[in-house]
Structure 1
């Protein structure tokens, strides 16, 4: 499968990690601003697998997902509600900036903020 950068970026931001796995560069760098920087495909894949395990029991509702694509960069802005098994709700606004080279994701910069519930 040969996916467009816009499709890959949106899939990753929507937690569809298996779809994007073949398109991660070996030397990928994922900067989770204010948290950590993950370097290397194996480490990024491990982080994604941890996220998948956590999300297995969580209902995710994307309320907004806007994609802006350029030649080598794609930006995905999203707003999502997460409901855990105890029915506790959280709302997260995020922005992921993807850089591509030779059809692969080489860098991701992620900003995420939990929004107070009203």
Structure 2
């Protein structure tokens, strides 16, 4: 699959809480580093954290920019989700996907940088 299409599909899967597609898109030794917060290590922990995310329901993800190098893709955007009726939270994010050497349809590391957006520009 073309890398642009894959990145779009991955972000749509996060937005729609498509945990099966996401779990199928990682290597067994996945490392998800949410910078400054925690590291989720291994496919089993990754799947558990996806299930928790699913409880929050669908999100609106807007991608501003995507950059690709040989085995990496960097995605910059915003994510917005409802916390309760009539209330939303909005975050800016930058995700760095590092793809497997043996299977370019799977990523082995995801570094997530996230910051709460208090004002809309």
2:63, 2:25 → 1: CA distance? 24
| Contact persistence 2:23–2:46 (CA under 8 A) | no
2:57, 2:87 → 1: CA distance? 13
What root-mean-square deviation, in Å, do the aligned CA atoms of Structure 1 and Structure 2 show?
2.0
Q: Which residue of structure 1 lines up, in the alignment, with residue 95 of structure 2?
A: 96
Query: Secondary structure of the residue that 2:119 maps to in structure 1?
Result: coil
2:62, 2:98 → 1: CA distance? 25
Structure 1, unmatched stretches of 5+, are: none
Using the size of structure 2 for normalisation, the TM-score is: 0.79
Using the size of structure 1 for normalisation, the TM-score is: 0.81
1:6, 1:107 → 2: CA distance? 18
- Mapped pair 1:107 → 2:109: yes
Structure 2, unmatched stretches of 5+, are: none
**The 10-residue stretch of structure 1 (77-86 or 66-75) with the greater mean CA deviation from structure 2:** 77-86
2:26, 2:108 → 1: CA distance? 7
Query: Secondary structure of the residue that 1:51 maps to in structure 2?
Result: helix
Q: Which residue of structure 1 lines up, in the alignment, with residue 54 of structure 2?
A: 52
Residues 56-104 of structure 1, C-alpha deviations (whole Å, 9 max, x = no match): 5xxx333434221222001111112222332112111000001011222
2:19, 2:5 → 1: CA distance? 12
1:62, 1:108 → 2: CA distance? 17
| Aligned residue-pair number | 113
